Structure 1
Amino acid sequence: MTTNATRAVGVDIGGTGIKGAVVDLETGSLLSDRVKVATPKGAEPADVLAAVHVVLDTLGVTDAAVPLGVAFPAIVKHGRTLSAANVADTWIDFEAEKFFEDGLGRDIHFANDADVAGVAELRYGAARGVSGLTILTTLGTGIGTAMIHEGVLIPNSELGHLQRAGEATDAEVFAAYSAMEREQLDWPEWAARLQWYYSHVEFLFSPDLFIVGGGVSKHADEFLPLLDLKTPIVPAVHRNNAGIIGAAALALASDGSDAVAGVADTLVEATSN
C-alpha cells in the first residue's frame, strides 16, 4: 500500500447503508461527494460486494491508483470476519478481506467499522491529543465501540454486545438508535436507555472521554444533555463520516511519520492477513 498518498478512498459498510468518498489524508476532509447505497437485504457477501462496486463506480475510483480502505460491522481478525450482528451469518469465520480483494481486483485495508471511526477521531477529531482512555461509540443499527488508550487502539472491543442482567437481549438491541426508531421512543425515553448503557461502560472502564458517533450524532444536542455521567461525553467531530475517513486513513499504515500512522499500522497488523 502506498504510504505517501495524499488521498485515499474510504468505504464504510453498515447494516443499513454502504457509504464511500475520496478523502484528503492531510486534513480528513472529503474530496468528493459522499456516495451512499442501501445495504442489500440479507447482506450476503456477493450482494454486498456488488454494492461496493456501485459505490466505487460512482466515485470513479475503480482501479488501484488511489488506496482503498474498507470498514465492516464485524470482529475482524487476520482478514476474517468473526461475527455478524447486522449482516448475514455467512460472514461468520469468512475470509472477507481476500473476498473483497479478489472481487475488486485490488489490494485493500480492511477493519472493523468502529475501530476505523476511532482512527478518524484520533487523527482528525475529538480524540486528538486526549490522554488516558477514550471510548468512541457509534449509535446506529447497532452500537460499535473503539477503545483508545494513550493513542493506542485496542481492536474489536465490541462493547455494544454487553449483556443486560436478567434480559435476553444485549445492549445494542436495547439502546442503539435503531431501537429508538423501532419502538418510536422520544429523545428522553431513548436517553434513559443510553444512561444505563454509558453508566455501565463508565463503571467497567473508568474512561477519560466518551465520543458519540453515528448518524444520530448530528442530533447530539437532543440527547447528550440528558445524560448524567462523571465522564465528559462529546459528539464525534466527523459524525457519520468517521467510518469513511478512518477507512481511508488506513492508507497511513507503515508510514511512521506520526503516532496515528502507528495506530493504523497496528490496526492493519491486528486485523489483516
Structure 2
Amino acid sequence: MSDTTPPGMQPHPGFSEEERDAVYRAIFTRRDVRSEFLPDPVPDEVLARVLTAAHHAPSVGFMQPWDFLVIRSPAVKARVQALYRQANEEAAQLFEGEKQATYRNLKLEGIVEAPVNLCITCDRRRHGPVVVGRTHIETMDIFSSVCAVQNLWLAARAEGLGVGWVSIFHQDALRDTLGIPRDILPIAYLCMGYVSQFHARPELEKAGWLSRLPLEELLHFDGWGGAAGEADGALLGALGKVGVNPEDDRRSTPGRR
C-alpha cells in the first residue's frame, strides 16, 4: 500500500482496546487527593513526563499561556498553607449550621504532606494583545491553562500520583508569597505525590456534601432545554451501558515504576 499521508502529517494508527480503556480508567479514577499522600519523593523523570503532558494541552491561538512553579521547599509550603488556613476560616463562616460543621471536618488540602506542590499560571499578555481565537471570548487563555491542569492531572493518575487542587486562597496573597508578577494570573495550586490509596468515589460525594448529577438530566438537544427526539433514543440508551464503577477496580492502588 502506498503512503498517501500528506507532508507534515502522521498516519493515524488508532488505539487498541486496552489503550482506549486505560484512558477512560484514568478519567474515571482520577481523584482530588487531600489526605493520602506518602512521603516518597517523585522521581524527576516522572515529574518531567507529567509536566510535558501539561505543556501539550490545547491552547487558544497556540499561545501556551501557562508557566509552572515547582515547589519543594518546606518553608514555602508552610507559608502557602498559612494563606490557606486564613482563607479557609473565612470560607467556613459562609456556611451555617450543620453545613458549617461538615465543612470544618473536611480536609481540603495536603500542601505540607505532598512532596511536590505546583502552581500553574496564565500569562494573558503572551504573544501580544490580539490572539487567534481570543478576539471575542477574552477568557479563552484562562480556559487553556485549565486544560493544562487537566492534562497534568490525568497523566499523574496514570503514573500512580495523586493530585489535589487547592483553591481556597486570596490570589493576591498567593502572588506575593510566590513572587508571581502582578500581570500573571495564578490558575491552580496543586499538591502532588504518591498516595496510599485512591478513593473509589470523590471524597465530597462520600461525605454526603453533594452527589454526581445524572448525565441524562444535563443533556439538551438542538437548543437549550430541547427534548430528546426519536433520533436521540439510541444515545440515551447507550448512556445506560457505559460502565463507570471504580469500586470494582482492584488495580486502583498506585504502583511504582
Q: Which has the larger radius of gyration?
A: 2
Normalized per residue, the structure richer in strand is 1
Q: Which has the higher contact order (CA 8 A, sep 6+)?
A: 2
